[in-house]
Amino acid sequence: MKKKIGVLALQGDFAEHIHAIERCGATAFEVRKSSDLDAADGLIIPGGESTAIAKLTGDNSDPVFDTIRARLNDGMPVYGTCMGSIFLAKEIEGSTQGRLAVMDIKVRRNAFGPQRNSFQTELPIKCLGEPAFPAIFIRAPIILSCGRNVEVLATMPEGIVMARQDNMLVSAFHPEIADDYRVHYYFLKMLDNPAVASKIASVQSSADQLLAG
Amino acid sequence: MVTSAKEVQGKKLTGTDQVKKALPQMLKGGVIMDVVNAEQARIAEEAGAVAVMALERVPADIRADGGVARMSDPELIAQIIEAVSIPVMAKARIGHFVEAQILEALGVDCIDESEVLTPADEEFHIDKTKFNVPFVCGCRNLGEALRRIGEGAAMIRTKGEPGTGDVVEAVRHARKIIGEIRQLTVLPREERMTFAKNIGAPFELVNEVAETGQLPVVNFAAGGIATPADAALMMQLGVEGVFVGSGIFKSGDPLKRAVAIVKATTFYKDAKVLAEISRNLGEPMVGRTARDLKPEETMSSRGW
């Protein structure tokens, strides 16, 4: 049976994620309210503005916020890109803005500065193999620190840019706007075994190894 | 020169086409609000705006005051950048590439080459490929949209008729653009060149739109949006987000109205939600029908 991925469609580049998931051979659909999540095997939280999303989920009469958290605790795999990673983080540097606060990471918003510093780069990601991934960073956050239960999947000199904790995956960059679907494939594979990262990643990677490579 | 994969790795490329087009992609489904100072910018962010547009006076006041409208005071823009964490856009006059250079140096995230300000050049628009930051430009039809994209615009918006609170021109422009795209996708190949000639658009871009059925950049609505229903109308017509200019801070209760317009842009297909959020918003901005403007009063006719 085809895997069914919901993409949070309150604001942001959700259409690009839907396209990427469909290119990987799975089904994708928009999630705007709690009941939309019923059919989802996994959820993607796209790029967008975290303060806007917080507003849309936080004070809506429909508790889509709580529903996502409950499904997440039940083991549903979730992937957050850029804003999505901020939304999952337990800690945001200098901010208490609304978020799910479920992943054991501390993030810094706009870590690279204004849009003129946004960039693309060839990023080595060990669990995806060769070649390096065409990663696009748009006013991107960075992961400053993470708990011991978090596996670091990719780093830059500035900090961690991709990480995983059990059924939660985050990246500071936007694979959905590159013509390379390996990160989305990786996420779809998480649906088969959401609890154990090392069984999916062919190589257990660490920040040190990645930097050395 | 051949660069090895190793050399490319870790190298940061800024200001590429892809990087410039990506910023507007992250703003989709959101509302960009005109603000004239840091306090309004904070209200906009609090309401859930995805970005703010810094300008000296909102279009309704520019209309009322008359005179030459220019780029804002850089001090004001710096204060707005300092006040919020969301992207900050600012307006430069059509063709005024030095105002654009100043805005880029200030660190704005996106420049609006805007007909709301008095044009600096009646013949040539800015060469937007020279900049590291993305540009948004207004348009009334597909030809104008593709000319701006050809010059390097990374985002397109309808012109509408700014500062009126009358949505009719934004509707006209959105329908025109979307209708022309639809028409183009069913056109036989041999008719494309004539189509490109007739709308005055670059042939390569006409071809691209014919193949993909969409613009190669994000397309928002702007010009005359004053209510949540206006925002939802534009979204249902097929745009990807909205700009609200005078509609918020010229209304009775800006924060409440701003929140409602943000929600309407997300839940634009859900009439029950729209009915709920449209209640008790206080006085909307005082409107002026676009039809009653004299030709020399229209802003949408600026640029080509």
ipTM: 0.92
* Residues of chain A with confidence (pLDDT) below 70: 57-60, 194-213
Chain A residues with CB under 8 Å of B16 CB are 120
Residue B16 CB-density burial (10 A; 0-12 exposed, 13-18 middle, 19+ buried): middle
Are B8 and A55 within 8 A, CB to CB?
Answer: no
For A8-60, give the DSSP string.
E-SSSSHHHHHHHHHHTT-EEEEE-SGGGGGG-SEEEE-SS-HHHHHHHHHT-
* Cβ proximity of B293 and B164 under 8 Å: yes
* Cβ proximity of B194 and B201 under 8 Å: no
Give the residue from A7, A8, A10, A11 with the most B CB atoms within 10 Å of its CB, the best one to mutate. Answer: A11
One pLDDT digit (tens) per residue for chain B, 304 residues: 444 444 556 689 999 999 999 999 999 999 999 999 999 999 999 999 999 999 988 888 888 888 899 999 999 999 999 999 999 999 999 999 999 999 999 999 999 999 999 999 999 999 999 999 999 999 999 999 999 999 999 999 999 999 899 999 999 999 999 999 999 999 999 999 999 999 999 999 999 999 999 999 999 999 999 999 999 999 999 999 999 988 899 898 999 999 999 999 999 999 999 999 999 998 888 888 888 888 888 888 888 8
Give the residue from A61, A115, A180 with the most B CB atoms within 10 Å of its CB, the best one to mutate. Answer: A115
Chain A residues with CB under 8 Å of B9 CB are 121-124, 132
**What is the identity of the amino acid at B24?**
P
**pLDDT of the residue at A106:** 97
Closest residue in B to A130 (Cα) is: B5
Distance CA A188, CA B155 (A): 32
A115/B contact by beta carbon, under 8 A: yes
For chain B, give the DSSP string.
-PPPHHHHBTPPEES-HHHHHHHHHHTTT-EEEEESSHHHHHHHHHHT-SEEEE-SS-HHHHHHH-S---PPPHHHHHHHHHH-SS-EEEEEETT-HHHHHHHHHHT-SEEEEETTSPPS-SS----GGG-SS-EEEEESSHHHHHHHHHTT-SEEEE---TTS--THHHHHHHHHHHHHHHHHHTS-GGGHHHHHHHHT--HHHHHHHHHHSS-SSEEEB-SS--SHHHHHHHHHHT-S-EEESHHHHTSS-HHHHHHHHHHHHHSTT-HHHHHHHTTT--PPPPP--GGGS-GGG-STTS--
In sequence order, the β-bridge partners of residue B53 are B34, B89
**pLDDT of the residue at A200:** 42
E strands, chain A, in order: 4-8, 27-31, 42-45, 78-81, 89-92, 103-108, 119-123, 133-137, 142-146, 151-156, 159-165, 168-171
Give the residue from A59, A109, A118 with the most B CB atoms within 10 Å of its CB, the best one to mutate. Answer: A118
A 4-23 near B (Cβ less than 8 A): 9-16
pTM, rounded to two decimals: 0.92
Are B18 and A120 within 8 A, CB to CB?
Answer: yes
A34/B contact by beta carbon, under 8 A: no
What are the residues whose beta carbons fall under 8 Å from the beta carbon of B106, sequence distance 6 or more? Answer: B74, B77, B78, B81, B90
Distance CA B51, CA B26 (A): 10
B100/A contact by beta carbon, under 8 A: no
The set of catalytic residues of A is: 82, 174, 176
Give me B289's structure tokens: 């029908």
Measuring CA to CA, which residue among B60, B5, B19, B12 is closest to residue B248?
A: B60
